Amino acid sequence: MLELLTGTGLATAAGLNAYIPLMVVGLLARYTHLITLPGPWHWLSNGWVLLILAVLLAIEFVADKIPAVDSVNDVVQTVVRPTAGGMAFAAGSGSQTVTVENPADLFTQKMWIPIVIGVLISLTVHGTKAVARPALNLATVGVAAPIVSTVEDTASVSLSVVAIIVPFLVIFGVALLVWLAVVAARKRRERRAARVLSRK
């Protein structure tokens, strides 16, 4: 159960920012004893891989905070974020962490299963983000882009760390993100309805 929560937290974080959960997993595996990556995912803690992830994260960090550029970036990330989510889910759920000593066989032997689960989770989160962001930019004339992006990055870091150290808190983090998405969708519908009424 905890492995599933760890993977879910990391995959959700990847849906917000592809590189943060991979960086968190790699850095914690390289410099701490909080997570021990399984053999197939040990490369995530390699120095060169971490450097490449840091460069990609820096590009994503800037691009996601510029109105209009963030929407183009979301299109590009449609492949990247789900892929990263699949890798993060598989690596995290198959690892030994401070709360999981022996990951279940499902997550360590049948590697395609956690990858598919992670891809689907990340794709859902990414899709919600990619649809909501243009509407927010339009409604706020682009002012919301850097604020929302910073909140998303903070949420991605928090979810990644919590998923490894205190995985049961992932339930609350994911529930909060779902609630925020529902509220944003409702407000978007209300604004659209108000615009339609104002034209009549």
If 0-12 CB within 10 Å is exposed, 13-18 middle and 19+ buried, where does residue 198 land?
exposed
pLDDT (tens digit per residue) in 154-168? 999 999 998 888 877
Looking up tokens 């943060």 gives: 20
User: pLDDT tier at 103 (50, 70, 90 boundaries)?
Assistant: low
- Give the pLDDT of residue 165: 86
- Give the pLDDT of residue 102: 66
pLDDT at 142 over 80: no
Q: Of the given ranges (6-15, 125-134, 135-144), which has the lowest mean pLDDT? A: 135-144
Range of the domain at 189: 2-199
* Structural domain total, the chain: 1
Judge if pTM exceeds 0.85: no
pLDDT (tens digit per residue) in 46-95? 999 999 999 999 999 999 898 888 888 888 899 999 999 999 998 888 77
